[in-house]
Amino acid sequence: MQIQGYEFSISAGRLEETLGGYLLSGKTVQIGHPFGRTLYFKHGWQSWSEAGWVSLKESPKPILPPERRPQCDDPAYALSPVHGGSGLGGLEGHDGRMLFLGALRPGARIEADRLSLKGSSDHETQWFLAYGEQQQVLARYTELLANTLGIRGQPPAPRVWCSWYSYYSDISESKMLQTIAALQGLPFEVFQLDDGWQQNMGDWEPNHKFPSGMSAIALRAQSQGLTPGLWLAPFIARPSSNLFKEHPDWFLRDEQGELVLAGTNWGGYYALDVTLPAVQDWLQRLIQKVRGWGYRYLKLDFLFAAALPGQRHSGASREEAYREALRLIREAAGDDVYILACGAPILASLGLVDGLRIGPDVAPYWDNEDRRVYLHDPTGPAAYNALRTSLHRLWLKPLVHTDPDVAYFRTRYNLLTPAQRVVLQDLALVAGFKATSDPPEWLDGDEREGLKEWLEASPSILQTGPYTFKIGEREVDFSSWLEI
């Protein structure tokens, strides 16, 4: 059939016209196209996974080393010989417009080659097919997703101070109480403790560095008008944890009965089988406990682990299992708790979380070329990686608060140039999510004033092209920072 002057062959169970394109139905769909080895819009599986345009002229390269793959992108397709992504994808047409295909429920895979764009799903599902300007087709897709998955996180997003990108895991009760006091006079709304407070991954009780317990930090933050926030990774545990030692049968296993290694951080960690009733009960009690400590902002990390390939108790599909676990967490937390999902499958999180990390971690340096280029891994911490993937996920803004990670204002312990710091500050403005980890005591007078002005600013944001924006009266073009 002809769409916008181009001939496409469409294989699907059903096809009907809709505003801006077509609705297809079926477990698998295929669109034959005339564009050859063009550019492919890849949309990675979870927060850190690569999103952006890649060339079909080059074969995909597996991420190295292999043990890193589960926490970088969907490991089920780590060795795929064709380009693919999760949930949605597209091809650049001869006129620069986009042939787009997107699933309207989680659990879908999009692949592309020189002849076709193919979609496959765990279930019978609907797909949105369109040909047009990138921003327009993605905007229409978000409208359809809003109808099927729902919307949370209405603007504005909270302004967050997070401990990770300054202190990393070297946090303590005394250090955090000092930081809370130092935040006076800066218009933050959330004070969020990150990794380093817990006894172990899986053992979510305060360690010896927090002798007064976690409620003490929450109460101090509240007394200063801040919402207390806490980092958790509820779907994983280290083998040294009491949780693992006491309940080894709670963890995901492969077809051979071996434990599924979810990643290599902290010496390696395993994924819970979130379909087990005992695990579901434990998850809800964990969230209720943290709520009881006074925390109303939860950064939930490494969430992809619940959707890794493995043998599950219930037989649910991977993203069904994940979404049900997330629903139980939301139920336990209540609607008044802000949930930021990180390392999270993108489509399967929509409608259940308020904020969603949309790229890899930033870092106080621009690039990690050794990892990105030579190990074929664009998911590692680096300002460049965060910028590139986040820019290609801004289409999510109507559905959820889009978190591109923190901005930097400090020069202390920072290799970013002044211009690179401004790029991250502008990225946060266009994404609509302002956060930093800069301790006030690390800032000089000008840096503190710059942070304060940035937090207070609410400029109008207008996207004028794929990488160009008008921020207030400023024209900002991110393309010069990207390898495109």
> How many angstroms separate the CA atoms of 135 and 132, rounded?
8
Return the closest-CA partner of residue 289 out of 185, 215, 222, 392: 215
Per the listing, tokens 């895991």 go with: 169
Do 447 and 380 belong together in one domain? Answer: yes
Domain assignment present for residue 392? The answer is yes
Q: State the sign of the Cα–Cα–Cα–Cα dihedral 404, 405, 411, 415.
A: negative
pLDDT tens by residue, 83-138: 999 999 999 999 999 999 999 999 999 999 999 999 999 999 999 999 999 999 99
Domain assignment present for residue 429? The answer is yes
Domain assignment present for residue 294? The answer is yes
Return the closest-CA partner of residue 403 out of 382, 389, 420: 389
Secondary structure of residue 156 in the 3-state scheme: coil
Pairing verdict, β 14-18 and 9-11: unpaired
Give me the catalytic one of 74, 194, 301, 426: 301
DSSP letters along 378-447, please? TTSS-HHHHHHHHHTTGGGTTTSEEE---B----TT----HHHHHHHHHHHHHHT--EE---GGG--HHH
> How many angstroms separate the CA atoms of 87 and 148, rounded?
14
Residues of the chain short of pLDDT 70, as ranges, are: 484
Do 217 and 340 belong together in one domain? Answer: yes
Do 246 and 344 belong together in one domain? Answer: yes
Q: What are phi and psi of 409, to 5 degrees?
A: -125, -20
Domain assignment present for residue 397? The answer is yes
Supply the range of the domain harboring residue 416. Answer: 160-481
Q: Is the pTM of this model over 0.85?
A: yes
What's 255's domain CATH number?
A: 3.20.20.70
> How many angstroms separate the CA atoms of 116 and 82, rounded?
11
Domain assignment present for residue 155? The answer is no
Domain assignment present for residue 154? The answer is no
> How many angstroms separate the CA atoms of 140 and 316, rounded?
30
Residue-level pLDDT at 484: 59
* Last-in-domain residue among 149, 168, 202: 149
* Last-in-domain residue among 128, 149, 170: 149
Q: Is 122 a catalytic residue?
A: no
pLDDT tens by residue, 194-208: 999 999 999 999 999
Do 228 and 293 belong together in one domain? Answer: yes
> How many angstroms separate the CA atoms of 289 and 193, rounded?
16
> How many angstroms separate the CA atoms of 445 and 432, rounded?
26
Domain assignment present for residue 66? The answer is yes
Do 207 and 84 belong together in one domain? Answer: no
Starting at the earlier edge strand, list the strands of the sheet with 401-403.
Answer: 401-403, 355-357, 338-341, 297-300, 227-232, 190-193, 160-162, 435-436
Number of domains making up the chain:
2
Do 47 and 183 belong together in one domain? Answer: no
Do 94 and 199 belong together in one domain? Answer: no
* Last-in-domain residue among 91, 122, 149: 149
Give me the catalytic one of 195, 273, 361, 426: 361
Do 170 and 132 belong together in one domain? Answer: no
Cβ atoms < 10 Å from Cβ of 219? 14
Do 125 and 39 belong together in one domain? Answer: yes
Do 267 and 405 belong together in one domain? Answer: yes
Burial class (CB in 10 A: 0-12, 13-18, 19+), 315: exposed
Q: Is 361 a catalytic residue?
A: yes
Residue-level pLDDT at 155: 81
Do 135 and 260 belong together in one domain? Answer: no
pLDDT tens by residue, 393-443: 999 999 999 999 999 999 999 999 999 999 999 999 999 999 999 999 999
Do 353 and 430 belong together in one domain? Answer: yes
Residue-level pLDDT at 356: 99
Return the closest-CA partner of residue 120 out of 29, 224, 256, 225: 29
Domain assignment present for residue 422? The answer is yes
DSSP letters along 31-71, please? EE-S--S-EEEEE-SBTTS-EEEEETTS-----SSGGGGGG
